[in-house]
Amino acid sequence: MEVYLDNAATSWPKPEKVYRAVYDFMRKVGVSSGRGAYRRALEADRIIFDVRKYLAKLFNVADAGRIIFTANVTESINLAVKGLIGPGDHVVTTSMEHNAVWRCLKVMESRERIRITAVSCSPEGRLDPGRVVESLRPDTKMIVMTHASNVTGALMPVEIIGAEARRRKICFLVDAAQTAGVYPIDVQSMNVDLLAFTGHKGLLGPQGTGGLYIREGFSPRPLKEGGTGGHSILERMPDDLPDRYEPGTPNVAGLAGLGEAVRFILNEGIDRIRRHEMELKRYTVERLERIPGMTLYGPLEPDRTVGVLSFNLGRYRPEDLAHRLDMEYGIMVRAGLHCAPCAHRTIGTIDRGTVRVGLGYFNTAGEIDYLAKALEELAGK
Ligand SMILES: Cc1ncc(COP(=O)(O)O)c(C=O)c1O
């Protein structure tokens, strides 16, 4: 038996239509988009147009053209931060960030002398929005933060912080890596100026897809320059979106898959997906907390978290436990620091890290029973 519980890293399996869309594009269309006027090229254009439209619906974006495609959320965050922050700017973030945010800020600190305030979260990884507000200064240019921690699953109070950022005209960038596709996101009511997302996690699309929503009024410097199919006579990047940020041949095969994935999510309904995740999270906590020697980290209430759960068992090193789960039971989980050392410093696990279960829409209570039984056996050894 094989049980995949690493959906926080990348989701698997994907809806059947996602595989089919990637295959069909490569087999039957296969041409570049934005670069030809023959019928198959127009079909490639339509695929990309549609996926932007589905994502706009999912995130309540009024103008789909303001969604830029990238290779992943890491690239989106780099584009937003490096494109909008300049020398000496002050940036506020949290102590629960993934390296996609943290390393990006640190390089800007050494290169551009930006100043960073990382607001400390509680040892459970909860963020007090009041502390974020207190840390804002007249020269604060941006607040950048994760929507949900990839270590504890804790949801962050982005609605409250977004309202304050809008009131003070501070740019608000949200890393939605762990929430896009599994939690309702409305960029308008949440006052999100830039939403960075990745296609291969909760959005159920292929790896190598992702994007950035850029609200009107924001114009980051492009991260890359090159051909855009149109405006070829210009010696600089065109001003129009999305072309300004999408040089080079796009990943149409991946985007074809992402389009079907987002259509699947819209058809299932985000509320239903969220309910399934909350039920499974509640069940996982219930089953795991009874195991002797078990330590669970972070807030555990399903309505305050996404389907991510970190734990340690007795004296096991997380890597050893994950290895035994794989080799002896066929259970796939992640172990270590999960690219988020700041988060582990916050929750007190920097010395050894944690084992992380990442629940997905296709996981079942039966699989959690199997995990719990395996951990019970390993706890006794
Ligand atoms: C919160 C968070 N941010 C950023 C990332 C980076 O995602 P990607 O590798 O798709 O760029 C991840 C996933 O690992 C994540 O969980």
For the CA of 146, the nearest atom of ligand 1: 1
Distance from the CA of 98 to the center of ligand 1, in angstroms?
7
Residues 6+ apart with CB under 8 A from 313: 291, 293, 294, 295, 321, 355, 375, 378, 379
Domains of the chain as residue ranges with CATH = 3-12+270-379 (3.90.1150.10), 16-268 (3.40.640.10)
For the CA of 147, the nearest atom of ligand 1: 1
For the CA of 338, the nearest atom of ligand 1: 14
CB 203 within 8 A of CB 236: no
DSSP codes joined into one string, 111-176: HH--EEEEEPPPTT----HHHHHHT--TTEEEEEEESB-TTT-BBP-HHHHHHHHHHTT-EEEEE-
pLDDT digits 0-9 by tens, 225-277: 999 888 899 999 999 999 999 999 999 999 999 999 999 999 999 999 999 99
Distance from the CA of 313 to the center of ligand 1, in angstroms?
25
Give the full edge-to-edge strand order of the sheet including 140-146. 67-70, 210-214, 194-198, 171-175, 140-146, 90-94, 115-119
pLDDT digits 0-9 by tens, 132-174: 999 999 999 999 999 999 999 999 999 999 999 999 999 999 9
Residues 6+ apart with CB under 8 A from 276: 361
pLDDT digits 0-9 by tens, 197-239: 999 999 999 999 999 999 999 999 999 999 988 889 999 999 9
Distance from the CA of 235 to the center of ligand 1, in angstroms?
34
Distance from the CA of 196 to the center of ligand 1, in angstroms?
10
CB 66 within 8 A of CB 216: yes
Residues 6+ apart with CB under 8 A from 265: 58, 181, 203, 204, 273
